[in-house]
Amino acid sequence: MTSNLKHDALIKKILTNPVAAQEFLEYYLPADFKAIVDLTKITIEKESFVEEDLRRKLSDLVFSVQTKNQDTAFVYVLIEAQATPDHWIALRLWKYILLLCERHKQKKDGLPLICPLLIYHGTKTYNAPRNLWQLFSHPEHAIRATSGIVKDERFVANWEGAKAVGIRPGAYHYFRANYTAQEQAENLIERLSKISFNPYTDVLVIDVEKKFNEEATPDQMADGTYELLKILQNTSYEHLGIYASPNYWTNDVNWRKYDFSQYLLWIAHWRVQAPLVPETWINVGWKIWQFSNKGQIPGITGNVDLDIVKDRAFLGESPVYSEIDNATGFTP
C-alpha cells in the first residue's frame, strides 16, 4: 500500500467518527449550505460510487444530514489519493453526484440537495479544472447552453424588501468575460426594469473578480468591463462603479487601457488597517471599502460582508466618514 493510500485510509477512518465528521463539515462546508442543514446529527451512509479500477487513486464518503425543512441532504466527499491533481476530477464528481441523485431521488420531481467536497493531499499545487464547464473545449458555449446568463431570482424581493424597511439599496452585476458586454448589459437592464431602480440616483457596480474568469486575459477583462460600463453609461446610468480587490485589479486586469478612474471604487481589502488603492484611483481614492467578510447581522444566518462608506455625497446625501454602513448590494 502506498503512503498516499495509507493517508487516504486514515482520513476515512477519522471521518467516520461523528465528532470529527461534524468538525470537518463545520469548517469546510460553504456557509449557505450550513445555514440550511443540521450538522448535529450526521449519518455515514454505507455506499460508494468510485469504480473498482479507480480505488487505488480515489475513495469516497457519503454523509446524510437533515435540512431545516426535515428533508434529507447529502455531503459527498471524494478523497484523491495521488501526488498530482487529476485533470478530470470535476467530471468524476459530477458523475458520482448524479449516481447519488439516482439512488436517493425522493420523488418523480424532486432530487436531494448534495454538496460535494474534494480532499486533495498531493505535493503539487492544485491546478486541475474546478468545475465541469472548464473541461469543455468551448466553455463559454457550454455554460450558455446549460445555464444561460445567471439571474438571482431573489433580487426583486430583496430589493423591495430593503426599500420597505428604510434601507437604500444598490445593485451589482458580476462580470463574466465569457459573455459579451452587450449580453450582460441586456440581462442587467432587464432585471433592473423589474424594480424601482433610479438610474440617476441609485448606485450600480460591476463586480470584477477571478472566479468564473480564470481563463480570461487581462486585456479581455479590461475590454469587457469597460465596454459594459460604457453601454450602461450611454443608457443613462449615472452612478456607476467597480468592485475589485487591489491585487486582482492590478495584476489581472489591463487597467491602463482605459480611464476607469471615472467610475467610483468599491475596494475589497480585508483584515488591513487601511485599503490599498490601485493606481487607477490613486488621485480620487475609494468610495466604499469592504473591510471584512466575517460580519454578523441579527436575522441573517452565517457571515456577511462589512463595508465603510467614506463619502455618501455621491449618493446625493450628506457626507458621512468612517461609518460602518449597510451598503447593501444584490446580484441582479
Residues 177 and 324: their CA atoms lie apart, in Å, by 32
Q: Please report, as a single letter, which amino acid is at residue 183.
A: E
Same domain, 134 and 208: no
Average pLDDT, the chain: 80
- At 233 the pLDDT is 95
Query: Rounded to 5 degrees, what angle do the CA atoms 70, 73, 74 make?
Result: 155
Of 145, 179, 194, the position where a domain reaches its end is: 145
Bridge partners of residue 304, in order along the sequence: 295
Residues 123 and 159 placed together within one structural domain of the fold:
no
For the cut 60, the answer to whether the pLDDT of residue 149 exceeds it is no
130 and 186 part of one domain = no
Whether residue 300 sits in one domain with residue 272: yes
When mean pLDDT is compared across 26-40, 172-186, 246-260, 297-311, the lowest value belongs to 297-311
- For the ranges 133-147, 148-162, 219-233, the lowest mean pLDDT is seen at 133-147
Is 102 found in the same domain as 7? Answer: yes
Q: Distance (Å, rounded) from C-alpha 284 to C-alpha 311?
A: 12
Q: How far apart are CA 57 and CA 8, in angstroms?
A: 9
* Domain that includes residue 79, residue range: 3-145
CATH label of the domain that carries residue 233: 3.20.20.80
- Whether the Cβ atoms of residue 307 and residue 275 lie closer than 8 Å to each other: no
Confidence of residue 326 (pLDDT cuts 50, 70, 90): very low
Task: Say if residue 187 is in the same domain as residue 139.
Answer: no
Q: Are 21 and 42 in contact (CB under 8 A)?
A: yes
Listed residues 119, 145, 171: the one ending a domain? 145
pLDDT at 1 over 50: no
Does one domain contain both 169 and 316?
Answer: yes
pLDDT number for residue 136: 66
Other CB atoms within a 10 A radius of the CB of residue 77 amount to 22
Residues 188 and 141 occupy one common structural domain: no
Taking the C-alpha atoms of residue 93 and residue 116, their distance in angstroms, rounded to an integer, is 7
131 and 67 together in one domain: yes
Number of domains within the chain? 2
8 Ramachandran zone, left/alpha/beta (phi>0; psi -120 to 50): alpha
The pLDDT of residue 165 is above 70: no
CA-closest candidate to residue 293, choices 302, 304, 282: 304
Domain boundary residue, one of 114, 145, 176? 145
* 299 has a pLDDT exceeding 90: no
Report the 10 Å Cβ neighbour count for 213. 20
Q: Percent of the chain scored above 90 by pLDDT?
A: 29
Distance CA 43, CA 34 (A): 16
Strand boundaries in 113-272, DSSP class E: 113-120, 170-174, 203-207, 239-244, 264-268
Please say whether the beta carbons of 228 and 234 come within 8 A. no
**Residue 106 pLDDT grade (very low, low, confident, very high; cuts 50, 70, 90):** low
pTM (2 d.p.): 0.53
Residues 129 and 176 in one domain: no
Pick the more confident residue, 7 or 153. Answer: 153
Q: Indicate whether 95 and 40 sit together in one domain.
A: yes
Provide the residue type at 57 as one letter: K
C-alpha cell at position 61: 464518503
Contact indicator for 50, 60 with CB cutoff of 8 Å: yes
Residues 246 and 286 in one domain: yes
